């Protein structure tokens, strides 16, 4: 029907439809306003061309009521569009419960993903249809951006912090995955495909990937290898906070403040433990900055999260 020429991107996620409704509404509004102004200017240009016989008396160089009217009208329309866009946007902050969490790591120039079961893939991402997926993004080097047009989602992966993006695919298929933040020489090659498949196919696919250790299990090994368990285990002689159920819980700090132990807090506590010290503990933990890379950081975080059963069922911490 369109001779193979694409006009619209596929709509393949739970939010795509509502984003497009706003897009098309706005398109209709702007097209109408733009055309109205164009027609008006062309009409004036013809009617009042030099030498035409049009009536020119009663011209005015200002009209306060008119100017106030269009200023107020523009403001009101702008506020409506703003509110609509903002409400849809804020859903980013509230992923539906029971999400599947996949770790995504950007590096020059590939995306590396790890499923909770430990399955790894590069520049490919397989997800089940109908289940919410949270991709927790990190970057090994420069800023990248995870972009799946068919899902209408985009999120930068920034070195030194974890960012999250969620989507629920609702249409099986293969969709483009791009890096949307310019990241150096092969920026345009950094991407691949997201494959959305029915849950049973996804389960079968996971099976076929061979059973590696889960991300959390790798994280636990690392937790021992780096010596974290030496202090953070209950039997330890050194007094260090017990990490069971830490994720998503409020932590009292020695400066009388309280923070939620989210991705950022856990990451900072590993790399920069003196920054926020849990109340009642001595600041004896050394920094692991430079000793763990971003991939290992994701394993550690996955392990810590696996210690709080609530977090895997209800991802409250991101709310």
Partner 1 sequence: MSTEALRPTSYLGEGAGPAAWLLTTDHKRVAWLYLVSLTAFFFLGGAFAVLMRVELATPAGDLVSDDTYNRLFSLHGIIMVWFFLVPSIPATLGNFLLPLMIGARDLAFPRLNLASWYVFILGSAFALVSVLAGGVDTGWTFYTPLSTLYANGFVSMAALGVFIVGFSTIMTGVNFIVTIHKLRAPGLTWFRLPIFVWTMYATALVMVLATPVLAASLILIVLERVFGIGIFNPALGGDPLLFQHLFWFYSHPAVYIMILPGMGVVSEVLPCFSRRPLFGYKAVALSSMAIAVFGFLVWGHHMFVSGQSAYAGVLFSFLSFCVAIPSAIKVFNWSLTLRKGEITFETPMLYALFFLALFTFGGLAGLFLAALAIDVHVHATYFVVAHFHYIMVGGMVTAYMAGLHFWWPKLTGRMYSETWGRIAATVTFLGFNLTFFPQFVLGFLGMPRRYHTYPPEFQFWHVLSSAGAVVLAVGYLMPLLYLGWSMFRGARAPANPWGATGLEWQTASPPPPHNFETMPKVDRPAYDYAMKGLRHEAFSPHKDEAR
Partner 2 sequence: MSTTTESVAFDTRAREKAADTFGMWVFICSEAMLFGAVLLLFFFARSSYGPAFAAASQHLSLPLGTLNTAVLLTSSFAIALAHMFTASRRWRPAVWALICTGLLGTIFLFIKAMEYASEFKEGLAPVLGAPFRFSGPDPTHAELFFAFYFAMTSLHALHLICGIVVIAGMLLLWPGTTEAKRTHRVQAVGLYWHFVDIVWVFLFPVLYLINRA
Report the C-alpha gap between 137 and 166 in whole angstroms.
11
Instruction: Closer to partner 1 by CB, 28 or 252: give it.
Output: 28
Residue 186 interacts, among partner 1, partner 2, none and using kind-specific CB cut-offs from 5 to 8 Å, with: partner 1
Report the C-alpha gap between 304 and 137 in whole angstroms.
17
Tell me, letter by letter, the H, E, C secondary structure of 180-241.
Answer: CCCCCCCHHHCEEEEEEECHHHHHHHHHHCCCCCCHHHHHHHHHHHCCHHHHHCCCCCCCCC
Site for partner 1 in 80-119 (CB under 8 A): 81-82, 84-86, 88-90, 92-93, 108
Residue 96 interacts, among partner 1, partner 2, none and using kind-specific CB cut-offs from 5 to 8 Å, with: none
Residue 287 interacts, among partner 2, partner 1, none and using kind-specific CB cut-offs from 5 to 8 Å, with: partner 2
Q: Which residue has the tokens 């090659």?
A: 189
What would the x/- binding string for partner 1 be over residues 137 to 156, using CB under 8 A? ----xxx-x-x-xx-xxxxx
By the rule CB under 8 A, 212 interacts with partner 1: no
Site for partner 2 in 245-274 (CB under 8 A): 272, 274
By the rule CB under 8 A, 293 interacts with partner 2: no
Peptide bond into 152 cis (omega under 30): no
Three-state SS at 111: strand
Q: How many residues are there in the chain?
A: 319
Q: Smallest gap, in angstroms, from Cβ of residue 37 to partner 1?
A: 6
By the rule CB under 8 A, 289 interacts with partner 2: yes
Residue 231 interacts, among partner 1, partner 2, none and using kind-specific CB cut-offs from 5 to 8 Å, with: none
Q: Smallest gap, in angstroms, from Cβ of residue 29 to partner 1?
A: 8
Q: Which is it for the CA torsion 168, 174, 175, 179, positive or negative? A: positive
Instruction: Closer to partner 2 by CB, 213 or 289: give it.
Output: 289
Instruction: Closer to partner 1 by CB, 65 or 250: give it.
Output: 65
From the number of C-beta atoms within 10 Å of its C-beta (0-12, 13-18, 19+), residue 132 rates as: buried
Among 23, 110, 173, 262, binds partner 1 (CB under 8 A): 23
Among 70, 198, 230, 252, binds partner 1 (CB under 8 A): 70
Site for partner 2 in 204-223 (CB under 8 A): none
Size of the site for partner 2 (CB under 8 A): 6
By the rule CB under 8 A, 7 interacts with partner 1: yes
From the number of C-beta atoms within 10 Å of its C-beta (0-12, 13-18, 19+), residue 263 rates as: buried
Residue 313 interacts, among partner 2, partner 1, none and using kind-specific CB cut-offs from 5 to 8 Å, with: none
Q: What is the DSSP string of 79-109?
A: HHHHHHHHHHHHGGG-PPSS-EEEEEEEETT
By the rule CB under 8 A, 287 interacts with partner 2: yes
Among 78, 122, 225, 252, binds partner 1 (CB under 8 A): 78
Q: Which is it for the CA torsion 267, 272, 276, 278, positive or negative? A: positive
By the rule CB under 8 A, 34 interacts with partner 1: yes
Among 66, 283, 293, 314, binds partner 2 (CB under 8 A): 283
Report the C-alpha gap between 138 and 115 in whole angstroms.
15
Residues that bind partner 2 (CB under 8 A): 272, 274-275, 283, 287, 289
């Amino acid at each position: 029907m369109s001779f193979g020429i694409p006009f619209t991107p596929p709509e393949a996620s739970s939010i795509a439809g509502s984003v497009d409704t706003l897009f098309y509404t706005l398109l209709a509004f702007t097209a109408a306003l733009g055309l109205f102004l164009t027609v008006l200017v062309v009409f004036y240009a013809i009617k009042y061309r030099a030498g035409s016989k049009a009536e020119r008396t009663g011209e005015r160089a200002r009209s306060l009521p008119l100017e106030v009217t269009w200023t107020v009208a523009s403001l009101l329309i702008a506020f409506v569009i703003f509110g609509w866009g903002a409400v849809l946007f804020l859903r980013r902050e509230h992923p539906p419960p029971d999400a599947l969490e996949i770790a995504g790591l950007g590096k020059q120039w590939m995306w590396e993903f790890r499923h909770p079961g430990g399955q790894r893939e590069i520049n490919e991402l397989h997800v089940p249809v109908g289940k919410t997926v949270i991709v927790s993004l990190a970057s090994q080097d420069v800023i990248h951006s995870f972009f799946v047009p068919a899902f209408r989602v985009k999120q930068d992966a920034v070195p030194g912090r974890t960012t999250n993006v969620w989507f629920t695919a609702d249409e099986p298929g293969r969709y483009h995955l791009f890096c949307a933040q310019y990241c150096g020489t092969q920026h345009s090659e950094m991407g691949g495909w997201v494959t959305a498949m029915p849950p049973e196919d996804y389960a079968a696919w996971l099976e076929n990937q061979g059973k590696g250790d889960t991300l959390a299990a790798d994280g636990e090994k690392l937790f021992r290898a780096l010596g974290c368990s030496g202090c953070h285990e209950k039997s330890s002689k050194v007094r260090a906070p017990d990490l069971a159920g830490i994720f998503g819980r409020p932590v009292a700090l020695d400066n009388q403040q309280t923070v939620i132990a989210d991705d950022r807090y856990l990451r900072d506590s590993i790399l920069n433990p003196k920054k926020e010290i849990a109340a009642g503990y001595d600041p004896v933990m050394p920094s692991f900055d430079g000793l763990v890379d971003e991939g290992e950081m994701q394993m550690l975080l996955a392990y810590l999260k696996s210690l709080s059963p609530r977090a895997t069922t209800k991802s409250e911490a991101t709310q």
